[in-house]
Amino acid sequence: MINYDESNGLEHNGAPLTLKEARACWRENTLQKWEEEWAKMGNSQWTHSLFPTVGSRLKLRNYTPNFWTTQAITNHSVFRGYLASRGRIIDEDKSCPCGFGTEMAEHCLLECPSFTDGRPMDWSEVTNDHLQYMRRTVVKLWEIENPHFTLRNVSKEE
Ligand SMILES: [Zn+2]
C-alpha cells in the first residue's frame, strides 16, 4: 500500500518512493486486479479465447477498438447467430450460408470456407494481422446482410 504524508512524501511499506516508482506500483496493482476480474468473467468465452489475459490485449499497443473489429472480438452485431438470439432477423436462421455451422465469430473467423482470404493460420496470439482479417470479414458479412451497404464514407483503415 502506498501512503503519502506531507513530511515523508510517498512511501510503500515504510520505504520512500519517487513519483515514478509510485506510478509503476499503482499500475502493477491495477493490472493485477484487472487480470483477476478478467479471469473471473465467464460470459465471454470467445473474447477470452482471443485475449486470455488483459496483458495479451495490452500487447496490441496501437490498436484502437472500432466498429468493425469490436463486432468480431465480442461476437455481437452482424453475426446471424447473435441476431437470431436477439430476435433481430425475421427467419431466425442462425446458419451460415456456407452450410457448415452457426454464423458466429468463431465459425466465420476460424472455420468458414467463405472467409479464407487472408485468414491467419495461428490464433494463439492476436496480432494486427488478425485484427485486419477480422475487420475485412465483418465488412464482408455486413455487405452480405445489407446488399445496399457501401463503405464509401468509412476510412479504409478504420
Ligand atoms: Zn460459414
Whole-number Å distance, alpha carbon 84 to ligand 1 midpoint, is 16
| Of 20 and 2, more confident | 20
Mean pLDDT to the nearest integer, 128-150: 91
Q: What is the mean pLDDT of residues 87-115?
A: 93
Residue 83 in contact with residue 97, Cβ under 8 Å?
A: no
Cα separation, 3 vs 14, in Å, equals 9
For ligand 1, a single-atom ion, which residues have Cβ within 5 Å? 96, 98, 112
Q: Using the mean position of ligand 1's atoms as its centre, give its distance from the Cα of residue 148 in Å.
A: 21
Comparing CA positions, the residue from 145, 137, 140 lying closest to residue 109 is: 137
Write down the pTM of the prediction.
0.84
Q: How many CA atoms lie within 13 A of 39 on its CB side?
A: 8
Mean pLDDT throughout 42-48? 91
Phi, psi of 135 (to 5 degrees): -60, -50
What is the CA(80)–ligand 1 centre distance, in A? 11
CA 110 to ligand 1 centroid distance, Å: 9
